[in-house]
């Protein structure tokens, strides 16, 4: 089952902050975050692993609450280049290689 | 340059005419995967492969076939395409998931398929 992302869309001014949430109904082993700009392929941002290990972007942070099966992506002091659609992908236990993505959150940053 | 390539980038075809979308990566990645992207539904995994000759179904495998005979290539086959397979398709690759799927996926540029 797809994880649920919220909000579906958000509009910001440059310099403002945003939080994108990803919630799953299943136990999670890892959460992956990607950003896709219009007409382009998704690009990796971050991976968060059960147990706290985190690997990813310099200016974007995220959290992973294993008990609640939730992850949040924090975009601080947003820049115009942050505009795009953000996807979370979840991996369940078992290292299956199966990744399930949410429906996406569209972020628009205005000058 | 490290990359994932897909061909063709655009394809318009008719119902029932078999087609193959090729995917190739030059990063020596073990893991490869196919996704389809539809408005409002995000990315949905079709098939994935953990290594040569090892493939498994994703969330939406119906109507698709794959093969992994070489490490670098992972073609997607639609033996009898139907209009509901009209979509944007992405191929991706990464290092093999070890104890965790802790490796970033590199996506190809996408193939826009229209089935009439």
Segments of chain B scoring below 70 in pLDDT: 97-102
Instruction: State which residue of chain B sits closest to A104, comparing Cα positions.
Output: B42
Mean of the per-residue pLDDT values of chain A: 89
Does residue A69 contact residue A37 with C-beta atoms inside 8 Å?
Answer: no
| pLDDT at position A10 | 96
B42 and A101 within 8 Å at the Cβ level: the answer is yes
Average pLDDT over residues A4-9: 96
Distance CA A48, CA B97 (A): 14
A42 and B107 within 8 Å at the Cβ level: the answer is yes
Does residue A86 contact residue B24 with C-beta atoms inside 8 Å?
Answer: no
Does residue B25 contact residue B32 with C-beta atoms inside 8 Å?
Answer: yes
Q: What is the dihedral of CA B22, B28, B29, B33, to 10 degrees?
A: 0
Q: Is the pLDDT of residue A101 over 90?
A: yes
| pLDDT at position A35 | 96
Does residue B51 contact residue B94 with C-beta atoms inside 8 Å?
Answer: no
What the block records as the tokens of A94 is: 């078992």
| pLDDT at position B37 | 97
Burial of A21 (C-beta count, 10 Å sphere; 0-12/13-18/19+): middle
The alpha carbon of residue B43 and the mean position of all alpha carbons in its chain are separated, in whole angstroms, by 11
| pLDDT at position B104 | 86
Does residue A24 contact residue A70 with C-beta atoms inside 8 Å?
Answer: yes
Q: Which of A97, A102, A104 to mutate to test the interface with B (most CBs of B within 10 A)?
A: A97
What the block records as the tokens of B102 is: 């802790």
| pLDDT at position A48 | 87
| pLDDT at position B2 | 85
Upstream peptide bond of B4 is cis (omega within 30 degrees of 0): no
- Strand pairing report for A9-13 and A105-110: parallel
**Residues 47 through 106 of chain B touching chain A, CB cutoff 8 Å:** 48, 50, 56, 58-59, 90, 97-106
Q: Is the pLDDT of residue A60 over 90?
A: no
| B13 or A1, greater pLDDT | B13
b/e code B63-85 from CB counts within 10 Å (16+ = b): ebebebeeebebbbebeebeeeb
| pLDDT at position B70 | 97
What the block records as the tokens of A35 is: 């950003």
| pLDDT at position B53 | 93
Which residues of chain B neighbour A40 with C-beta distances below 8 Å? 109
Q: What is the pLDDT of residues A8-58, one digit of tens each?
A: 999 999 999 999 999 999 888 889 999 999 999 999 998 888 776 666 666
Does residue B21 contact residue B12 with C-beta atoms inside 8 Å?
Answer: no
């Amino acid at each position: 089952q797809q994880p649920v992302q919220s909000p579906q869309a958000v509009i910001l001014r440059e310099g403002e902050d945003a939080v994108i949430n990803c919630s799953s109904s299943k136990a999670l082993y890892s959460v992956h975050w990607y950003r896709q700009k219009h007409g382009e392929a998704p690009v990796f941002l971050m991976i968060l692993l059960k147990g706290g290990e985190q690997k990813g972007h310099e200016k974007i942070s995220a959290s992973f609450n294993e008990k609640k099966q939730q992850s949040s992506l924090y975009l601080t002091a947003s820049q115009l280049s942050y505009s795009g659609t953000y996807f979370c992908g979840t991996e369940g236990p078992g290292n299956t290689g199966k990744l399930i993505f949410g429906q996406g959150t569209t972020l628009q940053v205005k000058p | 340059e490290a990359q994932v390539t897909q061909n063709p980038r655009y394809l318009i075809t008719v119902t029932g005419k078999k087609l193959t979308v090729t995917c190739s990566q030059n990063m020596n990645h073990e893991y490869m995967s196919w996704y389809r992207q539809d408005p409002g539904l995000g990315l949905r995994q079709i098939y994935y492969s953990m290594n040569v000759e090892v493939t498994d179904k994703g969330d939406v495998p119906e109507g698709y076939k794959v093969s992994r005979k070489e490490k670098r290539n992972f073609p997607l086959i639609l033996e009898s395409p139907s209009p509901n397979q009209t979509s944007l398709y992405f191929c991706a690759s990464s290092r093999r998931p070890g104890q965790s799927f802790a490796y970033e996926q590199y996506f190809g540029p996408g193939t826009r398929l229209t089935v009439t």
